[in-house]
Amino acid sequence: MAYRKLNLDRDKIDNCRGLATRIAAPVQRYIDRHSTTSTERSVLRLFGINDAHMEMPHVSLIVDRLSKDKLRLGIATWFCRALVHTGLKPIQLAHELATDHIKLENMPEVPFDKIKKIGIKLAQDGVKKLDDARTSREKLVYKLGNPPTPYKYLIVATGNIYDDCAQAVSAVECGADIIAVIRTTAQSLLDYVPNGISTEGSGGTLATQDNFRIMRKALDDAAKKAGRYVRLVNYSSGLCMSEIAALGALERLDVLLNDSMYGILFRDINMKRTFVDQYFSRLICARAGIMINTGEDNYLTTTDAYRNAHHVFASQFINERFALNAGLPPELMGLGHAFEIDPNVEDGFLYELAQAQMVREIFPRAPIKYMPPTKHMTGDIFKGNVQDAMFNMSAIITEQSIQLLGIPTEAMHNPHLQDRFWALRNANYIFNNARSLGDEITFNPNGKIARRAQTVLENTHKYLKKIETAGLMKAISRGMFAEIERDENGGKGLEGVFQKDRRYFNPVLDLLKSDDRQEVASNRRG
């Protein structure tokens, strides 16, 4: 792979990474001192508690009934104390707690060594399930093989998981490599994960453990027939970011949309809540071998893609740093960008190439996620098909990793089966016909493409300095990302954040943090 075509200033790139490290450091200190109700629910999920009472998950009923002051010790402290005292099995105890037959706060004190012993055992059992799912994926990938990159990524969004499966299998038969199940509108604002199978939804399908399991089986069956591994995507974002990560990992999802700032900017989730939750969710992803996709592409739908390209790169550096803090290796960081420059801009395609090549060179080991034109799609399907073709050509030239296929009917309606077929046919033709084109191309070091890349890198460096001066939370509150302002103590979910007691106990967190092999290996290779 030719990752040095633009002759970018490597010292400046290193300086950007240093700035990102310093920007993330005070936020990471805040993260380390705090937890959230959703993180605590995730601990119970990994303890094997996945039932519901009156359609409300046991984990939500258990955590919500404990005062925040008591929760400062960690839900594991209270749950394991009750296990020691009652002698019940975890699932039995969860049922008793959820039905209010037992109250955690009424449990008498027991020696902490007994709490610790049972907590560590439950955590080990839960993390083993993550390991088993990762091993199962690796075996299936080895058996079936990966398709060539860019992986062709398509979405389904019917609201009915069974209809989603039918559409997903059809897409795989036509060449899709990644299927994303779009989540029901506003599910990110629910502070619990619904239980059971979903056959109704608006704008998408509920993300539930049962739905994950059903789609996973459908794609595995389709992959075996197609002779290539097919990846499954969902959304680890919003108020249940870490909980979705736990459930997705248990059901062997391959990719989770997971951004350190997306929920803050685009869903008005409180930034403190988001920063804490993204850390725990990424620890889970690192252990389970789940690739994350970040959401920088969304910046370009709210701001000008040519003028503010440096916002994307600044966010990518910061997202990379937070991911490394959680032990995610670059090979699992699907950093996002998009083909969103106004098509009326003269030489706009050259600038798109410059930015796509920049991402590829700055993050050479990351499975970059490249998003199609959406902001400037008008409903003219013929022009839209050309825009998508140019987007696909940009991807194959610059060796992108994941291509979320453009749909010519974008801006008209949710895509029909024939719209997806049209998108796949476009991509299949270009990816095959121009497979090695990037190897044949060099860029004029004084030309528009190289100069554009150098300008964007310089602007990114300057912008990261401004963010460091302001502090990340203040920078967000001032609208320095996507030109959207969010208050540090505003948004949804702040009430679910609490400071840990010095005796806080979370054996899942301790076990996941101890698994720093990926980051150590990553830093050694880097």
* Per-residue model confidence as pLDDT tens digits over 147-194: 999 999 999 999 999 999 999 999 999 999 999 999 999 999 999 999
Q: Is 262 a catalytic residue?
A: yes
- pTM score of the predicted model: 0.95
Q: Where on the phi/psi map is residue 481: left (φ > 0), alpha (ψ -120 to 50), or beta?
A: beta
Kindly provide the b/e burial profile for residues 396-422, where b requires at least 16 CB atoms within 10 angstroms of the residue's own CB: bbbbbbbbbbbbbbbeeeebeeebbbb
* Per-residue model confidence as pLDDT tens digits over 77-89: 999 999 999 999 9
* Per-residue model confidence as pLDDT tens digits over 393-415: 999 999 999 999 999 888 777 77
> In sequence order, which residues have a C-beta less than 8 Å from that of residue 494 and are 6 or more positions away?
270, 272, 273
Catalytic residue among 164, 369, 419, 492: 369
User: Parallel, antiparallel, or unpaired for β 56-57 and 52-53?
Assistant: antiparallel
Residue 518 pLDDT greater than 80, yes or no: no
Catalytic residue among 262, 279, 351, 463: 262
CA 61, 66, 72: angle at the middle one, nearest 5? 130
Where does the pLDDT of residue 506 fall: very low under 50, low under 70, confident under 90, or very high at 90 and above? very high
Q: Is 487 a catalytic residue?
A: no
pLDDT of residue 3: 64
> 287 is written with which tokens?
């252990």
Pick from 48, 237, 242: which is nearest to 129 by CA?
A: 48
DSSP 8-state secondary structure symbol assigned to residue 27: H
> In sequence order, which residues have a C-beta less than 8 Å from that of residue 278 and are 6 or more positions away?
241, 258, 259, 260, 322, 326
Listing DSSP states for 325-338 in one string gives: HTT--GGGEE-EEE
Number of helical (H) and strand (E) elements in the chain, helices listed first: 21, 13
* Per-residue model confidence as pLDDT tens digits over 193-241: 999 999 998 889 999 999 999 999 999 999 999 999 999 999 999 999 9
pLDDT of residue 417: 77
Alpha-carbon span 266 to 83, nearest angstrom: 41
143-449 belongs to CATH 3.40.50.720: no
Where does the pLDDT of residue 516 fall: very low under 50, low under 70, confident under 90, or very high at 90 and above? low
Q: Is 221 a catalytic residue?
A: no
Catalytic residue among 164, 259, 297, 419: 297
Alpha-carbon span 456 to 307, nearest angstrom: 9
